[in-house]
Structure 1
Amino acid sequence: MTTRVKICGLREPAHVAVAAEAGAAYIGLVFFEKSPRHVSITEARNLALEVPPGVAKVALVVNASDEELGAILDRVPLDMLQLHGRETPARVAEIRARFGLPVMKALGVAEASDLAVLPDYEAVADQILLDAKAPKGAALPGGNGLAFDWRLVAGQVFEKPWMLAGGLTPDNVAEAIARTGARQVDVSSGVESAPGVKDPALIRAFIAAAQG
């Protein structure tokens, strides 16, 4: 079974094309102003219209209000919402019901106890994304280039499809997959030459390594 890859934080049409051609299953667009990968609604719409059929378009949002989500979805053709903030299970269920799109909930992991909430979120989300927990005081909830201890999820039984994120690069993604059994992986900073600047060669190398 081929590992499904999500390239997140894309900002250039050319990089969308590279990711799709290389075999990405998901394209991630970041709607979080503090992120160097942030795109405006107009920019996101233009990028989404470049994504070929068969590649899922995912909006990453952080503690977004209904008004913010509505403004995005009014203009941008999307396939999934990725909730990367402090959204409660009740809020996840509310967003999924209100907007009618599949929802992926990101959970920060630093120690085994962080996985205790997994059943609560699996009950309401369509997918789970496990990311390294952001350091205390960090400006970004994800995309910090940090990995967590992959042994924490080795052997974990999941009720819903899940995705591994956090500090993945072309050099370590194959090991991460082997250690965790992940069938889906997410990368952002690991395929960049500078914060927010994607590198086409690294995108290709990451997907090849993940699927190799």
Structure 2
Amino acid sequence: MVPVMDVRRADERYRGGDPATGIESRHAFSFGFHYDPDNLRFGPLIACNEERLAPGAGFDEHPHSHTEIVTWVVEGELTHRDSQGNETLVRPGDVQRLGSAGGVRHVERNDGPVPLTFVQMWLAPREPGGDPAYEIVRGIADSTPYAVPGAGALLHVRRLVAGERTAVPDAAYVYLHVVRGGVRIGSYELGPGDAVRAEGEKDLDVVAASGPAELLMWEMAA
């Protein structure tokens, strides 16, 4: 594999959602009515959506299947309900995973008094079908990987102070999303919403620039 590092800026994301109802979305990949045949997926990652919900706004019950859905709340609180009977309030620092498998329905809402921002990432499983699964990890510790074995992926959450470095996994595919703050990787300066798609890169690291930063890094097998 020839090493490739592809930087995608926040303002390149496709704007979706329904602002009139309090939903603003920014999509990194083809999604919904937006179709780009050259931007369908990166490894098993098929969506990385930044969602902003006003108080009282949300996504009514809708179906999913054959997708691993991982959610990271940036600010506010997300109310999740699904057809398997799970009802959860997801807060900043929690990792939520819904394995939709053969099919599941769920609701996502901002029932709180302040705006909600979250990042939702979808991965394609290696094998379709099976039974739906749900998991939430409360307050995941920094540098503790979260495994999604069905998709051959690990999520690394990193919170860095100014000047701190962290290694980028040596993997077939690495997707790095900047949640907050500014960082530097190689010769690139990245800010909130910016992302890097690295293929076959080795010995990379990320350093926080002038202040604290928060990163989501997916380590994915070929």
Q: TM-score, normalised by structure 2?
A: 0.33
Q: Which has the higher helix share?
A: 1
